[in-house]
Structure formats: C-alpha cells, structure tokens
Structure 1
Amino acid sequence: MSVVDEAVTAINEKVGGSFDGSVKFVIEGEGAVMLDDAGARAADEPAEVTLTADADTFRQILDGDLNPTSAFMTGRLSIDGDMGQAMKLAGALS
C-alpha cells in the first residue's frame, strides 16, 4: 500500500466526512491527499490550507506518535494558507 493510500485510510478513520473545510496534504515524493466534507481521497486540488511534509512525518502524525503542532514548530511540517483550518485539523487528528 502506498503512503498516499495509507494516509487516505487513516484520515478517513479519524475524521471521515465530518471536516468542515478543505485541506491538502502534500507528501513529498509520494503525492497528495485532499480532505473536505466528502472525506479524504488521493487528489491534488486547491484547498484552504496545504500541509507539506515527508512520508515519515505524516506517518508519525497519523499514528499519533507526533503532535502536528510540534511537527510545525520543529520545521518538519510546513503550512501554507488558512492557519485556522490547520488548527481545526490538528484537533480532529488528535
């Protein structure tokens, strides 16, 4: 299973279609995952906020081993766009 497929599955299990907004996860060298009110899917579309990190960082965040805020503060996760949406997502993934 690809990292993108793993991310889609994990995000749908944690958030599903209950997220009000749009987020794009860019997994460096792997692809992108979109999350909106329809759930998560492998896609690369415009979003209110884009989160970018390597595959290992995304795995750690999705597994609950790394706090998204800590990842951002240490430079392992970059955020471009609506910081409010990013913070809402961090709460939903916790």
Structure 2
Amino acid sequence: MLEDIAGDIRKGLDGKRFDGSLKFDCGDDGVIILDNGHVATDDQSTDCTLRLSTDNLKKLLRGQLNPMTAVMMGKIKISGDMAVAMKLGKLIG
C-alpha cells in the first residue's frame, strides 16, 4: 500500500526540488523516505520524521489535511529538523 503512495509522491515531485531528507513513518504500515528528490520505502535515518497514520498521509498529500492543523491536533508528530518539514509544506501546499 505504501509503495503506491510512494509512486504517487514520485510523480508529484517530477520537476520539483526537495533538499534534505524526510521520513513519513506510518507505524506498522511502513515508511516512505524523501531524500534529496528520491523516494523510497526502505527505512533509513533522515533529517526529519513525520509520524502519522496512512490515512492521514493520503489526506495530507491530496491537500485534504492542513499540515499545521494536523500537527496542532496531534494527527502528525514531527521530530528532527523543523525546517525540512516546512519545505514539505511548500511542496504540497
């Protein structure tokens, strides 16, 4: 399931730059890693980690979930470099 989402992210990043590394940690469902424009589902350490459910990840990527609201409501937990998380907001916003 996450491989499909990772494929959609790859398409969405086409022609866009994302500097740094970010992990979407969906718990038992797995992880998606953005690393300097590359997308993978193999776990590795990153500059920033976003912990969220797979459903909330889908909503976030579709623009149906406001990142700031989600963080304030506890739907997304961020650890690591907050500046990297802010770059994601510009990318999907």
Structure 1 equivalent of residue 11 of structure 2: 13
| 1:28 CA drift (Å) | 2.2
Q: Which one is further off, 75-84 or 64-73? A: 64-73
What 5-or-longer segments of structure 1 have no aligned partner? none
What's the TM-score once normalised by structure 1's chain length?
0.88
Paired AA for residue 19 in structure 1: F
Matched, 1:87 2:86: yes
Contact 2:20 2:84 in 1 (8 A): yes
Structure 2 equivalent of residue 51 of structure 1: 50
Paired AA for residue 60 in structure 1: K
Identity of aligned residues (%): 33
Indicate the SS of the match to 2:28: coil
What is the rounded CA distance, in whole Å, between the counterparts of 2:42 and 2:66 in structure 1? 24
Q: Deviations over 1:28-59 (max 9, x none)?
A: 22001110124211111000000010111111
What 5-or-longer segments of structure 2 have no aligned partner? none
Paired AA for residue 31 in structure 1: G
